[in-house]
Amino acid sequence: MEKIFNPKKNTWIEILKRPTKEFAEVESTVTQIFSEIEQFGDKAVNNYTKKFDKAELSDLLVSEKEISDASNLVSDNLKEALKVAKANISKFHESQKVVIKPIETTSGVICWQETRAIEKVGLYIPGGSAPLFSSVLMLAIPAKIAGCEEIILCTPPDSKGKINPAILYAADLVGITKIVKAGGIQAIGALTFGTESIAKVDKIFGPGNQFVTTAKQVATKYGVSIDMPAGPSEMLVLADSSAKASFVASDLLSQAEHGGDSQVILVSTDKDLIAETEKEVEKQLAVLSRRDIAQLAIDNSKLIYVEDVDTAIELSNEYAPEHLIIATEDFEKVALKVKNAGSVFLGNYTPESAGDYASGTNHTLPTNGYTKSYSGVNLNAYYKTITFQKISKEGLKNLGSTIEIMAAAEGLDAHKNAVSIRLK
């Protein structure tokens, strides 16, 4: 990991760059695949699944038998863990329901808003070397709570055309029945345009690599909304002398093992902690099953020393991390200064992996600096908000002249007449 001491502010943007490809580099590939899916549907999805996942499929949809068989392939311990996680995630997202009462803005003028669930949503679940069955819970549970009518889950198959049984069990646990064997750009394309087997959706959710992230962004050009740009995983740990090097190293590596294009950063006010953490990273890395992948991420990562916590939090806000761990003596005070972060973990005993799996918060979060303007997945992401208003005769008399004056000033006579004709 590169060590940097007291970087000047005018160098922050450069040293905090992510190790990702530029959007334009990936967009041409996405556009080509999208074009073929729009034209050829299932056939194009199958062709790209064969090309990228080495799987030849007779049917894109997972059968009921495959779903029921998966239960026998998942250990009882994992089943129980998933049930505990489901309960916590459900509890946290249920608490996000908000009822807004009607308000009388002027005597006789009543306004309110109501939510309606997005009808058709697509959930993307990464597969490959680390199938994220936990993402099934994170995306499907709020979709179910919100009341989305159609929920389609896409996830890549292995070379034998099989879906990881834990993904299928998790989907069954939360009541998802339509599961598509498709990953990457072709899955996002299928959800964007619809095919013979896959319905076009209104909004796409889920994390993924740079190609999936770019595909989601391109999908917005075709009238499909997305949760957020959520690409390669990243973390920033802000720590002082009260932090434990072994804890910090374990957290850094927990994100590094997601993929070679992940990035982790330690910003600390303690040079000794930086040195000890570097040693701990090497020690813990050596025994990881995904050490080769984690090593690639560690090579792109930084150890940064700054002189005070205020500078550290300012630097963190500039980086705008997906995950932020604050391991300082006065972490609650420091947390008040957080402006940009996807999810924040406070104190030495709050590992980021708690949020990834079972504490209850959602782990689908914006990356690549998008926490400056995007939020992580929450219940509201599955809703549309519609405003309503009801005006009585008396209410229109009270408000009418205000509307007439403003409409006339804008030169919109028909707007003014819509009120005037009623008042007469």
Helix (H) or strand (E) holding 85: helix 76-94
CB 163 within 8 A of CB 155: yes
Residue 184 and residue 154: Cα distance in Å, rounded? 9
Q: Which residues participate in catalysis according to the annotation? A: 322-323
Q: Which residues contact residue 398 at a Cβ distance below 8 angstroms, ignoring those fewer than 6 apart? A: 106, 107, 108, 109
b/e map 157-195, b = 16+ CB within 10 Å: beeebebbbbbbbbbbbbebebbbbbbbbbbbbbbbbbb
Give the residue among 311, 234, 298 at the shortest CA–CA distance from 267: 311
Burial of 37 (0-12, 13-18, 19+ CB in 10 A): buried
**What is the identity of the amino acid at 171?**
A
The CA distance from 125 to 151, in Å, is: 13
Sign of the C-alpha dihedral, residues 92, 80, 345, 300?
negative
| Alpha-carbon distance values, 392 to 100, 309, 422 (Å) | 21, 57, 11
Contact between 34 and 192 under an 8 Å Cβ cutoff? The reply is yes
Strands (E), 107-262: 109-117, 120-124, 150-155, 178-181, 203-205, 225-226, 234-239
How far, in Å, CA of 278 to CA of 246, rounded?
10
> 322: which 2 tokens?
């997906």
